[in-house]
Amino acid sequence: MKIITTCFLLTSAALLIVGCKESQPAFEAPVLKNIGSYSVPVTTKSKHAQMFFNQGIIMANNFNHAEAERSFREAIRQDTTFAMGYWGIAYVLGPNFNSVDNMGTVNEIRKAVTKAVGLSEGASPWEKAAIKAIQIKFPMDTAATDAEGFANAMKQAYTQFPDHSFVATLYAESVMNLHPWDFYAGRGGEPRSWTPEVVSLLEKVISIDPENPLANHLYLHATEAGGDFSKSLVSAERLKTLVPSAGHLVHMPSHIYINTGDYHEGSIANEAAVIADSIYIAECKSQGYYPQMYYPHNYHFLAATAAFEGRVARSIEAAYKTAGLVDKKYYHEPGFEMVQHYLTIPNHILIKFGQWEKILTLPQPTEDLIYPTAIWHYTRGMAYANLDKAEQAKEELKKLNELSQSPSIAGQMNWGINKVTDVCQISSKVLQAELAVKAGQFKEAIQLLTDAIAIEDNLNYNEPPDWFFSVRHTLGHVLLKAKDYAQAEKIYREDLTHWPKNGFALNGLFESLTAQGKTSEAAEIKKQFDEAWKYADVALTASVIDPEKRKDVALSVDEKSPDALVYLANSLCMTR
């Protein structure tokens, strides 16, 4: 079955996704294939300038800003009087939803803005409004970006052109960029004051322009932390095929599926994104931000969704690929801080699935990588604790705590959303709790895990979560060991409000209900678990991997072996 699925995906890739056309002599930028038909008609005398402008917008919608810039530069090469081509360059070189820093230099941005303004006389009215807004965003008398001024200017443009879907989407994006990843008071919480306007605006755009890639993309981000996914699922379904070779857009549905409990659908989306991006990166020789930050994010997400399905081999494989794609030259590069978190993903997944012996073979990160080294010590501590080597585990705990207090990581963030020190604090409490459980000190372990949950619940929303995975899975299991079945039931039900239909909590809930004699409820939960776990290749004891069967997992990958799916996709791409 796995072989059939892989072949189907590869065949689909061959038919639908071949990243770059061979460059035509007249073009200095690649002409991308299978990027959909979305078009923003603009004022230009060149059909090729229009084509590359459309391509630039679609790549910007895909958060591939470097490829977008390359397209916009080709657009102005085709038409040197193309005001919106210069606007596009400034647009993608500035900050964006996932980066508060400019993607280009201030001088490059100013040069593009100056050209756009100077050529704007022949532009259409809405184009002039967009150019005026970008001029406000990047003032000439300071290096600082005026994001709020830009949002206000885009609001004026939207007021002037309320039925222009591109203008409306840019306005929505400008507001979202003022509050990235902050649209609700925590997962499922109350919407922030700015959220209803953004959501309503994007819904309006989608109603009149349903195949607008950016509107659908932003709508998923604007709603993923909320509780109502009825309309989000429509956009998620649309993005599966809207721009087949734009990997980040193909991946985006998983941001909704992980919140609705449709983990298998999330895995499928990320597997498709992996194929799209692997072919694009190979054929277009992409370097820098997109292949280092967004391409590994597909695997990062796949590691999470596959884990929730109980697909251990796939999850571990994806975790290794997440870390393996990172180029060490970006470890300390400003704006690339997330790559250090990517290095830790195998550690968390191996812990989740009890691969204690494998953990002890993981090489120690270099000494300059303080955060990954701290997590490495946490991982080894968990392994030693579960291999009944308490003293070695305590030594690892000591090193974890020492590194967690290092001033050099005090301000380090993942995507600018959560502090890595918070992740380290949770790690410390979980390891301390593991040692307490092994010593039979259940009360102490329960308190430590409760404290860890308080930190976990206070993390800012991010997907996948910066803590891999729910501490409640561990606490529920400890409560069952302590025979506090009612409290275990409560914890598992709480977890299912965070992660619907997840098999770990469902199986733990089943055992807690069974222990309380709630047989009819338990029988219903067992049906739900069987459905949730139908793709799994591992057995559970309550909400953790069965310790008697943890070695049955067939690991087909390590840090030196490629993901077979991607390897074949690349080969297919390069030899076509």
Whether pLDDT at 24 is above 80: no
Give the domain range for residue 478.
471-552
Q: Up-side HSE of residue 376: CA atoms within 13 Å toward CB?
A: 17
In a domain, 504, yes or no: yes
Greatest CA separation for the chain? 78
pLDDT over 90 percentage in the chain = 85
Higher pLDDT: 15 or 359? It is 359
* Tokens of residue 88, six digits: 């596009």
Residue 489 maps to a domain? yes
Establish whether the linkage from the previous residue to 465 is cis, with ω within 30° of 0.
no
- Structure letter (DSSP) for residue 140: T
Neighbours of 11 (CB within 10 A): 11
Q: What are the pLDDT digits (tens) for 52-100?
A: 999 999 999 999 999 999 999 999 999 999 999 999 999 999 999 998 8
> 543 in a domain, yes or no?
yes
* 8-12, 25-29, 127-131, 179-183 — most confident range: 127-131
Rounded Cα–Cα distance for residues 73 and 106 (Å): 17
pLDDT surpasses 80 at 353:
yes
Residue 297 tokens read as 């994010």
Please say if the pLDDT value at position 574 is more than 60: no
Does residue 509 carry a pLDDT above 90?
A: yes
d(CA 499, CA 259): 6
Residue 436 in this model has a pLDDT that exceeds 50: yes
Distance CA 30, CA 14 (A): 19
CA angle centred on 223, ends 208 and 465, rounded to 5° = 145
- Written as six digits, the tokens of 181 are 């990843």
**pLDDT given at position 469:** 86
Nearest Cα to Cα of residue 479 among 512, 510, 448: 512
Number of structural domains in the chain: 1
Total count of residues recorded for the chain: 576
Mean pLDDT for the chain? 92
CATH number, residue 511: 1.25.40.10
* Two structure tokens written together for 530: 């069987």
pLDDT (mean) for 339-362: 96
What are the structure tokens assigned to 362, written together? 């993981």
Residue 299 parent element (H or E): helix 295-309
Whether the per-residue pLDDT at 358 is higher than 60: the answer is yes
Q: What is the average pLDDT across 119-133?
A: 98
Buried/exposed 319-358: b ≥16 CB within 10 Å, e otherwise: bbbbbbbbeeebbeeebbbbbbbbbbbbbbbbbbbbbbeb
The closest of 382, 357, 377, 359 to 367, measured between CA atoms, is: 377
| Residue 25: predicted pLDDT | 52
CA distances from residue 223 to 204, 256, 462 in whole angstroms, order as listed: 15, 8, 12
Map residue 96 onto helix, strand or coil: strand
Q: What pLDDT sits at residue 554?
A: 63
Section 284-300 average pLDDT: 93
Cα–Cα distance measured from residue 95 to residue 76, given in angstroms and rounded to the nearest whole number: 22
pLDDT band at 301 (very low <50, low <70, confident <90, very high): very high
pLDDT over 90 (residue 560): no
258 domain-assigned: no
Q: Which two tokens stand for residue 205?
A: 């755009």
236 domain-assigned:
no
Mean pLDDT over residues 204-220, rounded? 98
In a domain, 228, yes or no: no
DSSP per-residue string spanning 465-504: -SSSS-HHHHHHHHHHHTT-HHHHHHHHHHHHHHSTT-HH
Q: What is the CA radius of gyration of the chain?
A: 25
Closest CA to 474 of 429, 513, 424: 429
* Residue recorded with tokens 């391509």: 55
Spatial CB neighbours of 306, under 8 Å, sequence gap ≥ 6: 263, 267, 314, 315, 318
Is 101 inside a domain boundary? no
For residues 210-227, average pLDDT: 97
Q: Please state the three-class secondary structure of 205-272 as a single string.
A: HHHHCCCCHHHHHHHHHHHCCCCCCHHHHHHHHHHCCCCCCCHHHHHCCHHHHHHHCCHHHHHHHHHH
> Is residue 522, in this structure, part of any structural domain at all?
yes
C-alpha dihedral sign at 204, 209, 211, 214: negative
* Segment 96-111 mean pLDDT: 88
Q: What is the pLDDT of residue 272?
A: 97
Instruction: Report residue 489 as tokens.
Output: 């039931």
What is the pLDDT, as a whole number, of residue 20? 62
Q: What are the DSSP calls for 510-552, one per residue?
A: HHHHHHTT-HHHHHHHHHHHHHHTTT--S-EETTEE-TTTGGG
* pLDDT tier, 18 (very low <50, low <70, confident <90, very high otherwise): very low
567 has pLDDT over 90: no
Q: What is the mean pLDDT of residues 296-308?
A: 98
Give the pTM. 0.92
User: How would residue 242 be classed by pLDDT, with cut points 50, 70 and 90?
Assistant: very high
For 407-435, what is each residue's pLDDT tens digit? 999 999 998 899 999 999 999 999 999 99
